Structure formats: C-alpha cells, structure tokens
Chain A
Amino acid sequence: MTSTAVLERDEETGVARAPRRLGTPLVTVLLVGAVALACALSVVVGARTIPLAAIWDSSHPLHNISQARVERTLLGLAVGAALALAGAVLQGLTRNPLADPGILGINAGASFAMVVALSVFGVSELRDFVWVAFLGAAVAAVLVHVVASIGRDGATPMKLAIAGAALTAAATSWTSGVLLVDKQTMETFRYWQVGTIGGRGLDVLLVGAPFLAVGALLALSGARLLNTLALGDDLARGLGRRTAVDRVVLGVAVVLLAGTATALAGPVAFVGLVVPHAVRGLVGSDHSRLLPLSALGGAVLVVLADTLGRVVLPPAEVQVGVMAAVVGVPVFLFLIRHGRSGSGAL
C-alpha cells in the first residue's frame, strides 16, 4: 500500500473516508433525552393510560398502578444499563466487537442454576431466584476463565470464546435434560427464560442493586484499562499494565453486571451486543465515552422494548426479552449494512 493508493480511494469515496461521527456532546444530550422520554412513556403507556400526575398525587385513583409502573421502569433502566455496560466491557476485553455476555456462558450458567434450584431444591420465591441465577452466572464465568487460562498464553480472547461456547452448549443441554423430565419446572422456567421485568419491582431491584453498583463502578473506572488492552497484550504491558490482573478486574465487573441483570430479568439477549456496537459507531472506540453512553443506550432500549411489549398484542404483554430482540435485530442489521466499517467488524 502506498500513499497514492490511499489518495485514489479517497477520490472514489469522497468525504466518506473521513470519520463521520456525531459529536459526543450531541449523542449524550440525545441519549439523556431518550432516557427521559422512555421513562415517561413507560409510566404512561400500558393496558390503561395513566397521566404522569398520578405518580405524585396519592389521591389519584390510578396512583397505585403508577407506582408499580415506576418500579418496573426503574428495574428496566437498571437491567438495560447493566447489560449494555457489561457488553461494552466484554467487547473491549475480548477485542471482539460481536461479543455479548452470553459468550462467557453467563446466561447458560444462570439458566441451569435456575432449573436445578426449581427442580431439585424447590425454590419458589422471586428473591431467591435472583441469588440462584447470580450464583449460576458467576460460577459459569469463573469456570470459563479457569478453562481458558490453561496453557501457556493464559486466557486469550479466542480461548475465552471457545471455552464459553463449550460451557454454554453443555449447560444448555443439561438444562434441557432437566426440563424434559420435569414438567412443573418447565412451566415456571418458561416465563423466567424469555426475560421479563413485568410484575417485578423494587424489592427485587434492591437485592441486585449493590452488585450492580459495584459492577458499574469497576466497569466505568476500567475505561483506561480497556483503552490499553485494545492495542494488544504486548503493547498494553509495554505501557505498564498488568494485563492478567486487568482482565480479572474487568471480568468481575462483567459477571456482576450481566449476572445480576440476568438474575433480575432473565436472560435478555441482544442488548449487550447491539447497544455498545451502535454507540461505538457514533462516538468511536474510546471507552471513556463508550462505556457511559452504552449504559444510557441500554437503559433506553430495555425500557422502550418493555413499553412496546405492553401495546403490540393487547391484552397480552410481550416480554422484554422478546421485544428487545424484535427491536434489536433490525437495528443490528441496519448497522451491518450501513456501518462505516461494519463489514470489518465481522
């Protein structure tokens, strides 16, 4: 490649070669606005339309319903932000723009733990579900990391992905095995599995809040770590990072965020994959911008998807896990088709 070749390319595509990015301040303002709008819609829209005033007016006949919707919205914000943040960290950590928390076996581990808890230990309280699912997610992530660490190069992104895929396959088949012989567990599990935040409120969120807070803190302070890891392990170490330690810290953040979100709402796919990918296209790959904006984007997507799920098939509600994918897939396909370097990412 010579510089003349580049000039030719420039002429062909004109200004398209220059980075076409919205400014970070603009994206931030838009996302904050979108969060506010999504929250308002989430409270107002549903089987019954509720005026916003009902939230503050305790004498309003719809006050109680509005409180439930507020709690549901808060849960949606937390789950969405956590999933997208986890996805952004994981994509940086594995240097794989298509990674999502499922790659570490987190979803499969949580599902398997849930099934075992339901079937063998007869757990039935929603609060206990949270603990069980979180435990499953954490054990899965640790197992994947340990398996990937075997061998002389340690836990490389490639080995992590393979170990994650293997564990997912194993856990999924065990889960299916238990469900096939236990019809009653199947009934309960089916609702949890698609991912939902309906009918869950503050009590559930409060169980997960400390985990989410620590996870978010670790993730957001890891932006500098991710920015050096992105250059390759050798260069990161040359810049004075201890990459093995950084990987563990960031991995803990992912497990706390994605594990807790999965525990709270069931496995909600696509949010952790699509949101960071889209935000990266808007503001670039600097994690100090990418991480907080991904969290905002994830919150918007989950709250909007949940709201949309209440109105698409009345009187039934479509769970957020399904709606997130319904909304997420077209966005993802659009990004691949029109992304500045979408094909390069694949």
Chain B
Amino acid sequence: MTSATAPATRLSASRLTLGYADRPIVTDLDLQVPNGKVTVIVGANACGKSTLLRGLARLLKPQSGAVLLDGEVIHRQPTKHVARILGLLPQNPIAPEGVTVVDLVGRGRHPHHGAFQRWTSVDDEAVAEALELTDTLGLADRVVDELSGGQRQRVWIAMALAQGTDLLLLDEPTTYLDVAHQVEMLDLLADLNARRGTTIVMVLHDLNLSARYADHLVALRDGAVVAEGTPRQVVTEDVVRTVFGLDNRVIDDPVSHTPLVVPVSRHLRQAQPPTQELP
C-alpha cells in the first residue's frame, strides 16, 4: 500500500516520556515503527510496554516528547482523523451484553461516519470483508458473550479490521488463549500483514512466538529500549538475561529457524548432575 516515495515510518516516538504525575514509566524513548511490518514489543511485567502502546495510540498524553503520525504530533490531530489511520485493540475490550458479532464488528466503522451520516453499502462491504478475513462469517448472528475465547478474540480483530486502518496496534492479543489459539491468532495477524500490508504493532508475552512472528522486535526494560532489530539481532542470551533477568540458552527454532529461548531454571541447576531416573 505504500508507494515508493513513502517514508519508511508513519508512526514514531521522539524522546517520549509517559507516566503519571511524578512517576515516569517510559522515559526519553525513541522508536520508529517500520511501515508494512510486524513490530513486537516485549519485556518483563511492568516494564512499560503496555504504557508505550497506549502512548503510541494517543490514549496517554506524553509528559514530554511526542508521538508522530505522518510527521505530525498525534495529539494535535483530530482524534477521528487518527482513528481512520490507526486502529487499536486494547487488552480487555468490553463486549456489550447481548451484542451480536455483526453488530459489534459494525461498530468498528464509527470513525467513517459523521454525526448524521447513515450506514452505507461501503460499511456493509467492510464488515463482510473483516468477517471473512477472520473466518467469523459463520458466527455473524451469534451473541458475543456465548463464543469461546478464541472465537471472541477473532471477532475483536474483525472489529479492528472493519475500521479499515493502515496501522493496527494490539495489546497482548493472545492473552487467555491456549497455545493452539495463540498460534492461530498470530497466523491471522501475519496473514493480514502479508495480504493487506497492514502495519502491526503488538505487545506480546511469549518471547518465542514474538521471535517467530516479528519482523521488528523491540525489547524494553524499565521504560527504555534495551535492544531493537530483527529477532536474530535482539533475542540473544545476553539480552534475554538483561531484559527478563533469566538465565537462558538460545537455540535455533527447528520449525521457523528463528531464535528459541530455553530457560535455565534454578530447580534444574540444583538437581545437577542428573540423577537416576525414577522408575
């Protein structure tokens, strides 16, 4: 979707400091989100990765520095205009009681409507396409409360897709999903990125899945970028030890040939050398 003359980044942070009152959570952070790629933000609990995502999505006002969208400060742009370019799926979105899938996905069209504009066939097409891409067309008339966790998450992605934005920010889209549904969800996002060229920025917990799906990996610690680049550049034993404080080995993922982190647990270290196996 980007032309040859388009800049390499549409969304960036410049000397960004985010936080509450006198307690900064993200400090002086620079970040450039590469266009048309999948960027994954990783880090330990409370390292500021969700805060950073909220800041990029203009939900938090910076204490200093700025987030730039298409070269302009995001907070100075009309929020509805931003909503047509940048979509957001928060960690815990709320499904209104009794809402049907098609109704919920349709609410993603909000930024494309003025105060007195009616629903048009363009909206219908966008919703149908979003349902199709997420394989939720068959669920269209179901009530969201009654879906399984995996189905529900696909419906939320469909809502974000119906918004029709070039950039999509997701805060831990795989939380509460079992490993099969996590892989399914990330495959879906990778497909979107490949087919539509949607720029994706997401916060993920699982380092190995992050390494597998990210084009660009950002490792945060205490609100600052520790390492940034391709998974192979970022996921090293040293970086993982710094970011997570975890003793580890990094090996080659036999399936994707991306780095695979194997934790070394205290329990095993104490047990060495391996004793006779139990009968």
Contact = CB atoms under 8 A, between A and B. Distances in A.
B62 interface: no
B141 A19 contact: yes
Given A224-B113, A231-B94, A234-B88, A5 B148 contact: yes
Contacts of A184: none
A237 interface: yes
Interface in A230-273: 230-232, 234-235, 237-242
B143 interface: yes
Nearest to A281: B98
B145 A221 contact: no
Nearest to B57: A238
Contacts of B150: 1-3
B149 A237 contact: no
Interface residues of B, number: 44
Most chain A CB atoms below 10 A, which of B88, B96, B148: B96
A340 B88 CA distance: 31
Contact of B96 (A9, A230, A237): A230
Nearest to B21: A152
A286 B103 CA distance: 8
Interface string B203-221: 0000000000000000000
Interface string A334-346: 0000001100110
A285 B82 contact: no
B148 A2 contact: yes
Contacts of A238: 57, 59, 83, 87-90
B215 to A, nearest CB: 23
A285 B145 CA distance: 13
A97 B145 CA distance: 15
B108 interface: yes
Interface in B117-176: 141-143, 145-151, 163
B93 A239 contact: no
6 contacts: A2-B148, A18-B142, A19-B143, A152-B21, A238-B89, A340-B98
B151 A6 contact: yes
A241 B54 CA distance: 15
A97 B97 contact: yes
Interface residues of A, number: 36
Contacts of A224: 110, 113, 115
Contact of B98 (A5, A232, A280): A280
Nearest to A7: B148
A46 interface: no
Nearest to A236: B110
Most chain B CB atoms below 10 A, which of A227, A235, A285, A340: A235
Contacts of A183: none
Nearest to A226: B96
Interface in B91-116: 92-100, 103, 107-108, 110-111, 113, 115
B9 to A, nearest CB: 20
Given A2-B178, A3-B148, A234-B88, A240 B82 contact: yes
A344 B145 contact: yes
B241 interface: no
Contact of B100 (A6, A227, A240, A284): A284
A284 B103 contact: yes
B110 A95 contact: no
B111 A240 contact: yes
Given A6-B151, A239-B163, A341 B107 contact: no
B79 A237 contact: yes
A124 to B, nearest CB: 44
A230 B79 contact: no
Most chain B CB atoms below 10 A, which of A95, A224, A280, A345: A224
B148 A239 contact: no
A230 B94 contact: yes
A1 B90 contact: no
Interface in A1-15: 1-3, 5-6, 9
A17 B147 CA distance: 10
A170 to B, nearest CB: 30
A241 B108 CA distance: 12
Given A19-B100, A230-B94, A234-B54, A239 B147 contact: no
A232 B99 CA distance: 14
B96 A231 contact: yes
Contacts of B79: 237, 240-242
Most chain A CB atoms below 10 A, which of B87, B97, B163, B178: B97
B107 A231 contact: yes
A228 interface: yes
B59 A237 contact: yes
Contacts of B99: 230, 284-286
A239 B21 CA distance: 26
B80 interface: yes
Contacts of A227: 96, 107, 110
Contacts of B108: 239
Contact of B107 (A3, A152, A228): A228
Given A18-B142, A242-B79, A345-B97, A3 B151 contact: yes
Contacts of A345: 97
Contacts of A234: 54, 59, 88, 90, 93
A285 B84 CA distance: 25
